[in-house]
Structure 1
Amino acid sequence: MAVTAALVKELREKTGAGMMDCKKALNETDGDMEAAVDWLRTKGLAAAAKKSGRVAAEGLVGVVVDGTKGAVAEVNAETDFVARNDGFQAFAETVTALVLSNGANVEALKDIAYPGTGRTVGEQLTHNIATIGENMSIRRAVALSVGDGVVVPYVHNAVRPGLGKIGVLVALESTGDKAKLADLGKQIAMHIAAAAPQSLSTDDLDQTLVERERSVLVEQARASGKPDNIIEKMVEGRVRKFYQEVVLLEQAFVIDGETPVKKVVEAAAKDVGAPVTLKAFARLQLGEGIEKEQTDFAAEVAALTG
């Protein structure tokens, strides 16, 4: 039987599953509507679809390092209760390990085989949603590597090794002493967790963000009534201060509160025995940027009781 757009639409309305999943279900069942519904239920897709609109801002950030490679991934659920579940934690660990070996493209990751299940990562995610009863997602991931040096992990608020609320990776390149390099990387990683830099260098910083900040600073300076040449100097000074707040290499190192991170890295060459380059970093904070639904339980109760 030919699978038409009308059939796909009808199945979608019946189950709440995604359009492509509905099309696949109908193809697999030769257009039999009821069989397609059962096919979706078997795969857990119908149940998962009903939960897909719910906000998943809790969960865990996983971090893993193997030699000169590291990965960090954010896996979300709706509640912290689920994030404490052993099964969810094992899933977050496995996903992070798969990022390490396969790269940080989340959509491509979903097509990779999930170990020991006969499912893909995407199918395992759907299975978990149907089994646990909460919306979940693999939100984002980053992979870093160096040719010669170290990639150092750090997890803040760890619930178990490699899993927590903030995950950081620091990639340092150097031919010097790797143990001392790792110690430096750990300090920088802790700094990153606390200071939340937005870029590695001023060149990497989003220029739209810089121009927006500059525009605000110009207007503030003009309000002072000073001449244009003074305003220009005021703005440049404030832009430098802005860089010191958001750019990792310009930030004051949290260990002493005054030395710029770039100077700390330069000075480390003497201790490590070779020049050191801070090549890259990654910092993922759980739920960052997700707008959580705010509920007023007392108001809900009042509304229900009339």
Structure 2
Amino acid sequence: MAIITAAMVKNLRETTGVGMMDCKQALSENNGDMEAAIDWLRKKGLSKAAKKAGRIAAEGLIGAVTAGTRGVVVEVNSETDFVARNEQFQGLVKMIAQVALKVGADVEAIKAAKVGEITVERAITDAIATIGENMTLRRAAMLEVGKGVVASYIHNAVIEGAGKMGVIVALESDGKTDELAAFGRQLAMHVAAANPQALDSASLDPAVVQREKDVLADKYRQQGKPENVIEKIVESGLKTYYKEVCLMDQAFVHDEKGKSVAQAVKEAEGKIGAAVKITGFVRYALGEGIDRQETDFAAEVAAASGQKKPPEDPATVS
């Protein structure tokens, strides 16, 4: 039997929005398996926010830059937020994004590329030596179209082109470039806000779709629904799911009447003067998916004062 810690319960609670005791029971029932516990809560009808990804904070900046039919987004991490506010680090991020625009999204190729007399990797090393804090080029992505634009949006911008979240969206069209770029920026803002997981239902990982089907089916089996009814409910549930996670099916955030992104694209084609096809998008949120060692602040304070760590609340740990 796995030991269920307070940290595990807290993580599940933040991910699902479900109460502490239900989260603790879900983890106990599933031997501490986080994904299984999420599914267990959903089958019980307790979790309405199970699709939230765990957002573990990391510091640094996301940089994005576009040039007509090409655009890139990069993530450069640092140890503290103080460095993200350092002008030298900000300049480094913008420089790395510009290099990526030329050489592509391969991290090793970016690091090997030269800026003046030195490589990007050497520039990072020099910045570490000067600023006194470790930093890394974590990832990069590029989008390109034959005809059209790649638009970008930076959320929580620290400087122009760099902030805590970056989005690029590729739009293929023969239409007016200025109108296309304006609409592309709206789409990039939508992606930042709505966090779609795929362009459309056909682009979703089949394993993810199957998991959603299994969760929905098991939930209604537990309620005693017959199989023929469950099949219809699952199909209806999948349509709702697609509206939550697929860009083209999502409600466009810039429209109060609730039109879908697909409908917004069709409407925008009038101003743009030609058909528009969204060929891809990339959304980078700073630090997503990075496991960081949690600091036990109480223990640090106790150690500094020569005292023992305060006992944990038995109500929070099994």
TM bucket by the smaller chain?
Answer: 0.7 to 0.9
> Counterpart in 2 of 1:165?
164
Work out whether 1:148 is the aligned partner of 2:159.
Answer: no
Aligned mates of 2:270, 2:156 — CA distance in 1: 33
> Counterpart in 2 of 1:272?
272
Aligned mates of 1:213, 1:124 — CA distance in 2: 45
Contact 1:61 1:73 in 2 (8 A): yes
Instruction: Please report how far the alpha carbon of residue 275 of structure 1 lies from its aligned counterpart in structure 2 after TM superposition.
Output: 0.8
Contact 1:56 1:78 in 2 (8 A): no
Deviation by residue 1:185-236 (Cα, 9 ceiling, x = unmatched)? 1111111110111111112212222222221111101112111110001111
Counterpart secondary structure, 2:279: strand
Contact 2:57 2:286 in 1 (8 A): no
> Counterpart in 1 of 2:189?
190
Aligned mates of 1:211, 1:56 — CA distance in 2: 30
> Counterpart in 2 of 1:138?
137
Aligned mates of 2:126, 2:206 — CA distance in 1: 42
Letter aligned with residue 87 of structure 1: Q
Q: Which piece of structure 1 moves more, 230-239 or 202-211?
A: 202-211
Contact 2:68 2:148 in 1 (8 A): no
Aligned mates of 2:133, 2:197 — CA distance in 1: 31
Contact 1:56 1:135 in 2 (8 A): no
Aligned mates of 2:125, 2:236 — CA distance in 1: 52
Letter aligned with residue 62 of structure 1: G
Counterpart secondary structure, 1:97: helix
Pairing 1:33-182 to 2, within 5 Å after superposition: 57-113=58-114, 115-116=115-116, 118-182=117-181
Counterpart secondary structure, 1:143: strand
> Counterpart in 2 of 1:240?
239
Instruction: Please report how far the alpha carbon of residue 271 of structure 1 lies from its aligned counterpart in structure 2 after TM superposition.
Output: 2.0
Aligned mates of 1:66, 1:205 — CA distance in 2: 29
Aligned mates of 1:218, 1:199 — CA distance in 2: 23
- Number of equivalent positions: 250
Letter aligned with residue 208 of structure 1: A
Counterpart secondary structure, 1:239: helix
Letter aligned with residue 154 of structure 1: Y
Deviation by residue 1:130-159 (Cα, 9 ceiling, x = unmatched)? 332222111111111111111111111111
Q: Which piece of structure 1 moves more, 258-267 or 128-137?
A: 128-137
Aligned mates of 2:60, 2:173 — CA distance in 1: 35
Letter aligned with residue 69 of structure 1: R
Contact 1:74 1:140 in 2 (8 A): yes
Instruction: Please report how far the alpha carbon of residue 121 of structure 1 lies from its aligned counterpart in structure 2 after TM superposition.
Output: 1.7
Pairing 1:180-219 to 2, within 5 Å after superposition: 180-219=179-218
Instruction: Please report how far the alpha carbon of residue 180 of structure 1 lies from its aligned counterpart in structure 2 after TM superposition.
Output: 1.4
Work out whether 1:287 is the aligned partner of 2:287.
Answer: yes
Instruction: Please report how far the alpha carbon of residue 296 of structure 1 lies from its aligned counterpart in structure 2 after TM superposition.
Output: 3.2
Deviation by residue 1:73-108 (Cα, 9 ceiling, x = unmatched)? 010001010111111111100110111000001022
Q: Which piece of structure 1 moves more, 68-77 or 203-212?
A: 203-212
Contact 2:57 2:288 in 1 (8 A): no
Instruction: Please report how far the alpha carbon of residue 112 of structure 1 lies from its aligned counterpart in structure 2 after TM superposition.
Output: 1.4
Letter aligned with residue 97 of structure 1: Q
Aligned mates of 2:208, 2:88 — CA distance in 1: 40
Counterpart secondary structure, 1:157: strand
Instruction: Please report how far the alpha carbon of residue 56 of structure 1 lies from its aligned counterpart in structure 2 after TM superposition.
Output: 9.0
Unmatched runs of 5 consecutive residues or more in structure 1: 1-54
Instruction: Please report how far the alpha carbon of residue 123 of structure 1 lies from its aligned counterpart in structure 2 after TM superposition.
Output: 2.5
Contact 2:100 2:110 in 1 (8 A): yes
Unmatched runs of 5 consecutive residues or more in structure 2: 1-55, 308-318
> Counterpart in 2 of 1:227?
226
Counterpart secondary structure, 1:269: helix
Contact 2:69 2:147 in 1 (8 A): yes
Instruction: Please report how far the alpha carbon of residue 293 of structure 1 lies from its aligned counterpart in structure 2 after TM superposition.
Output: 2.6
4+ long deviations beyond 4 Å: none
Work out whether 1:261 is the aligned partner of 2:279.
Answer: no
> Counterpart in 2 of 1:43?
none
Letter aligned with residue 302 of structure 1: A
* RMSD of aligned alpha carbons: 1.6
Structure number with higher relative contact order (C-alpha < 8 Å, ≥ 6 residues apart): 2
Aligned mates of 1:221, 1:123 — CA distance in 2: 58
Counterpart secondary structure, 1:128: helix
Counterpart secondary structure, 2:118: coil
Aligned mates of 1:202, 1:71 — CA distance in 2: 25
Letter aligned with residue 259 of structure 1: K
